[in-house]
């Protein structure tokens, strides 16, 4: 089936779906024009990505040539800073890059006071003066993990979440890591990297398997991904979260992200950049 589109109850949000891509779009302004622009841009997204999919699934290096498509190019740019540091493929930014590009299309079509494109939890934002966006953070079991409120005067325009309970396989044991950045693509790859860092190598409570044994199409190849993590004692949970927090702090220092919230078996840690004027409250501090 080709791209599917329908308005959600109330008529203020648009649902777009094609293959594995599933978007929820909200816009305040001329929604008719905005939603038409979203549908027009979305119509070619999957085809555009599939044309370069084999290359986008390859490990990125500092010598990797840029791709051709607009979305693929943003994926490359978002992941390139990590190429010399760790294993990464452009696919680490695919969900965020799609959200960014669809948002750009609707904002270019008509003036909007506020808009968002939510691609399975990776969110691209448009905020004008006086506007804000509040997002709930939820656990894989539906538990309330806290709230993020982003105002127009902060540079944050992207939110992404990763972890071993998400849509993708993870090298780490984080239940979830939510990252705030200037774009959704940048938040997407950073969330993956921080979630990978929340780990306890060789711990007996953690089971791993080659990614290829779980998903023939995984861009992680034979890298060992987490398949199970039993209940951990508090000291081990803190140690694992501290590893992730160090990675998040490093990315803040490098200017790649503006904040992060990390969760593991009921414990959490968070950090924000000094210039990130926002409210980030985990449930235990709410």
Q: How far is CA 97 from CA 4, 60, 102, 233, 248, in A?
A: 20, 16, 9, 37, 20
Q: What is the CATH number of the domain that holds 6?
A: 3.10.520.10
Residues 13 and 143 both lie in one domain: no
- pLDDT at residue 200, rounded to an integer: 97
**What average pLDDT score do residues 125-144 get?**
89
User: Do residues 158 and 237 share a domain?
Assistant: yes
Q: Identify which of 56, 210, 198, 26 has the alpha carbon closest to the alpha carbon of residue 119.
A: 26
Bridge partners of 176, per DSSP, are 263
Q: Are residues 140 and 280 in the same domain?
A: yes
- Do 69 and 173 share a domain, yes or no? no
- The per-residue pLDDT for 136 is 85
* Percent of the chain residues past pLDDT 90, beyond the cut: 85
Measured in Å, how far apart are the chain's first and last C-alpha atoms?
44
Render pLDDT for 23-47 as a digit per residue (tens, 0 to 9).
999 999 999 999 999 999 999 999 9
Q: Which of 97, 128, 159 is the last residue of a domain?
A: 128
* Banded model confidence at residue 165, pLDDT cuts 50, 70, 90: confident
Average pLDDT over residues 75-103: 97
Residue numbers of the domain that contains 154 = 130-286
Q: Given this model, what pLDDT does residue 138 score? A: 83
- 222 shares a domain with 120: no
Mean pLDDT, rounded, for 49-69: 95
Total number of domains in the chain: 2
Same structural domain, 51 and 70: yes
Q: Domain ends where: 113, 128, 143?
A: 128
pLDDT (average), residues 75-96 = 96
What pLDDT shows up at residue 79? 98
Q: Are residues 111 and 155 in the same domain?
A: no
* Residue 200 or 135, more confident: 200
Regarding whether 274 and 255 lie in a shared domain, the answer is: yes
Q: Do 27 and 13 sit in the same domain of this protein?
A: yes
* Alpha-carbon distances of 215 from 118, 128, 140, 211, 240, rounded to whole Å: 25, 41, 21, 6, 26
Q: Kindly state the average pLDDT of the residues 202-214.
A: 95
Stretch 261-274: mean pLDDT, rounded?
92
Domain termination residue (choose one: 93, 128, 163):
128
What are the pLDDT digits (tens) for 216-257?
889 999 999 999 999 999 999 999 999 999 999 999 999 999
CB 26 within 8 A of CB 116: yes
Confidence band of 143 (pLDDT split at 50, 70, 90) = confident
In which residue are the tokens 């003036």 written? 111
Q: What would the mean pLDDT of 61-67 be, rounded to a whole number?
A: 93
Residues 54 and 136 placed together within one structural domain of the fold? no
Cα atoms in the 13 Å half-sphere on the side-chain side of 99: 32
Q: What is the pLDDT of residue 142?
A: 81
Q: Residue 174 pLDDT > 90, yes or no?
A: yes
Mean pLDDT calculated for residue range 173-185: 96
Confidence of residue 137 (pLDDT cuts 50, 70, 90): confident
Could you tell me if 71 and 138 lie in one domain? no
Cβ–Cβ < 8 Å for 260, 270:
yes
Mean pLDDT (whole number) for 118-131? 96
Q: Give dist(CA 155, CA 193) in Å, integer.
A: 21
Residue 286: the pLDDT is 40
For the chain, what percent of residues have pLDDT higher than 70?
Answer: 96
How far lies 261's CA from each of 18, 161, 169, 194, 209, in Å? 30, 9, 19, 10, 27
Specify whether 102 is located in the same domain as 226: no
Exposed (0-12), middle (13-18) or buried (19+): which is 3, by Cβ within 10 Å? middle
């Amino acid at each position: 089936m080709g791209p599917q589109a329908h308005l959600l109850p109330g008529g203020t949000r648009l649902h777009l779906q094609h293959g594995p891509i599933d978007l929820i779009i909200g816009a305040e302004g001329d929604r008719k024009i905005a939603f038409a622009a979203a549908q027009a841009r979305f119509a070619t997204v999957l085809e555009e990505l599939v044309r370069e999919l084999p290359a986008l699934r390859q490990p990125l290096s500092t010598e990797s040539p840029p791709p051709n498509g607009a979305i693929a190019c943003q994926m490359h740019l978002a992941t390139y800073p990590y190429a010399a540091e760790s294993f990464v493929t452009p696919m680490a930014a695919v969900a965020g890059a799609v959200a960014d590009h669809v948002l750009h299309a609707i904002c270019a079509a008509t003036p909007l006071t506020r808009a968002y494109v939510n691609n399975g939890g990776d969110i691209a934002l448009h905020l004008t003066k006086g506007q804000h966006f509040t997002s709930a953070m939820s656990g894989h079991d539906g538990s309330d993990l806290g709230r993020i409120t982003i105002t127009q005067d902060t540079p944050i325009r992207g939110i992404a979440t990763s972890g071993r309970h998400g849509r993708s396989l993870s090298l780490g044991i984080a239940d979830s890591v939510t990252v705030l950045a200037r774009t959704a693509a940048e938040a997407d790859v950073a969330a993956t990297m921080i979630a990978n860092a929340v780990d306890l190598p060789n711990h007996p409570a953690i089971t791993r398997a080659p990614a290829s044994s779980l998903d023939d199409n995984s861009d992680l190849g034979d890298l060992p991904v987490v398949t199970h993590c039993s209940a951990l004692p508090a000291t081990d949970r803190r140690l694992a979260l501290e590893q992730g927090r160090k990675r998040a702090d490093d990315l803040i220092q490098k200017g790649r992200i503006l904040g992060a919230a990390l969760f593991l078996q009921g414990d959490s840690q968070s950090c924000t950049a000094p210039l990130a004027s926002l409210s980030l409250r985990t449930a235990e501090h709410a």
